[in-house]
Amino acid sequence: MPARALHTRPLGVESRLEAGASRVGHTTPVPDDVLIAPSILAADYAALADEIERVRADSDWLHVDLMDGHFVPNLSIGPPVVASIRKHTDLFLDCHLMVTDPGFWLEQLAEAGADLCSVHVELGDPSALLSRIRELGMQAGVVVDGPTEFESVEPFLDERIDLLLVMTIKAGFGGQAFVAEHLSKVERAGEIRRIRDLPFRIQVDGGIAPETAGPAVRAGADVLVAGSAIFGAPDPPAAARAIRAAAVA
């Protein structure tokens, strides 16, 4: 993986555009390795910086769930917390927007130091949002929720995205059980990626643990989000390593 610059303060949009100019409109080649992205939704928010630092050496990305209490019934965090996180880590910040108006938050998230923003296909055609995300110097992702049919997201699996996030649960709450039938979407997306020679990553979120990491990767996933299985474990770094080991076994 290329080196990631440590941001000591949130960057303004102009600075973000300068820092990310080389990648705007481009995707990141999919490597042979599998990336582990701990989800801070399951972390102790009263000690968030310490929680993140604790898993830093065993993580590739950091998954940040933004929920507005409308698109999903839960309420989580917003750009100010993302900006605070950015001051304390060089991890790639992967932001999953579970909000009714993602466009309202994009510039704020770019200023806060987000590296990638993913928006839900359930809100309608995401094309304009995907373009705006890249204009702001971030990578762009599209999300398909567990109950949503694959056909809803299939038209957007092309050069417009850097990431497809497949939920293996219904979005909104952490700690849910993995629903294996949703891996069929991962398989179909992986086949499209292979046939069309596209470089977007495929991320799986929901119930990822050592026993589910292998099936997810075999289906085609190359980014695994895990919240409760890491931050809810007695030894979070060891839990992250166990998921990675199971993924590549």
Q: Which residues pair with 167 in a beta bridge?
A: 205
Task: Express each pLDDT in 222-232 by its tens digit.
Answer: 999 999 999 99
Question: C-alpha angle with apex 160: 159 to 163, nearest 5 degrees?
Answer: 90
What is the 8-class DSSP label of residue 150? G
Q: Which residue has the higher pLDDT, 173 or 249?
A: 249
Calculate the average pLDDT of the chain: 87
Averaged pLDDT, 46-53: 96
Confidence (pLDDT) at 174? 65
pLDDT band at 211 (very low <50, low <70, confident <90, very high): very high
**Single pTM value for the model:** 0.86
Q: Residue 113 is encoded by which pair of tokens? A: 């130091």
189: pLDDT strictly greater than 90: yes
242: pLDDT strictly greater than 80: yes
Task: Express each pLDDT in 119-139 by its tens digit.
Answer: 999 999 999 999 999 999 999
Domain boundary assignment for the chain: 13-24+31-248
Percent of the chain whose pLDDT exceeds 90: 75
Is residue 25 left, alpha or beta, with left meaning phi > 0 and alpha meaning psi from -120 to 50?
Answer: left
In whole angstroms, what is the distance from residue 248 CA to residue 226 CA? 16
Percent of the chain whose pLDDT exceeds 70: 86
- Other CB atoms within a 10 A radius of the CB of residue 53 amount to 13
CB 104 within 8 A of CB 82: no
Question: C-alpha angle with apex 169: 167 to 173, nearest 5 degrees?
Answer: 105
Helix (H, G, I), strand (E, B) or coil at 139: strand
Per DSSP, the residues of 166-200 read: EESS-TT-SSPPP-GGGHHHHHHHHHHHHHHT---
Q: Residue 90 is encoded by which pair of tokens? A: 């060089």
CB 226 within 8 A of CB 174: no
Averaged pLDDT, 58-83: 91
Q: Residue holding tokens 């991890």? A: 91
Task: Express each pLDDT in 152-183 by its tens digit.
Answer: 999 999 999 999 999 987 775 666 788 788 99
Averaged pLDDT, 136-147: 96
* Cα dist from 49 to 6, 44, 58, 157, whole Å: 14, 9, 15, 35
Helix (H, G, I), strand (E, B) or coil at 13: helix
In whole angstroms, what is the distance from residue 23 CA to residue 136 CA? 11
In whole angstroms, what is the distance from residue 241 CA to residue 236 CA? 9
241: pLDDT strictly greater than 80: yes
Task: Express each pLDDT in 20-45 by its tens digit.
Answer: 433 322 344 444 589 999 999 999 99
Q: Give domain 13-24+31-248's CATH number out of 3.30.70.20, 3.20.20.70, 3.40.50.150, 1.10.8.60.
A: 3.20.20.70
11: pLDDT strictly greater than 50: no
Q: Which residue has the higher pLDDT, 26 or 143?
A: 143
pLDDT band at 141 (very low <50, low <70, confident <90, very high): very high
Confidence (pLDDT) at 122? 96
What are the residue numbers of the active site? 65, 205
- Other CB atoms within a 10 A radius of the CB of residue 216 amount to 31
The one-letter amino acid at 17: L
